[in-house]
Amino acid sequence: MASHSSDGDLKALEGLMGEFFSPRATNERKREIEVMLDNFSRQKDAWRRCLEFMAATQSHYVCMFALNTLEVGTSAGGLIVYASWSF
């Protein structure tokens, strides 16, 4: 089960992703969001958080970000992640 902190982080990520793809977002704001997302994806446990986010979100933007973070993390660091999914 996700913690309240994870729930808040997921809501924040969903908000950032929605803002990024909004036609109202300026290029400057998009760059700020890119920096935040890049900083997140470089964290040691980002892959684990991304698995949690993917299991809990309805946002296709969040899923694509999470998949990209997992892909980059596995190719850059040689990390192999085995996940057990229960439906």
Domain ranges (residues) in the chain: 4-77
- Give the pLDDT confidence score for residue 3 in this predicted structure: 54
Nearest CA to 40 out of 27, 51, 50 is that of 50
Residue 20's pLDDT is what?
97
Residues in the chain, pLDDT under 70: 1-5, 73-87
What is d(CA 50, CA 39) in angstroms, rounded to the nearest whole number? 14
Supply the pLDDT for residue 86: 44
pTM higher than the cut 0.95: no
Classify 78 as helix, strand or coil.
coil
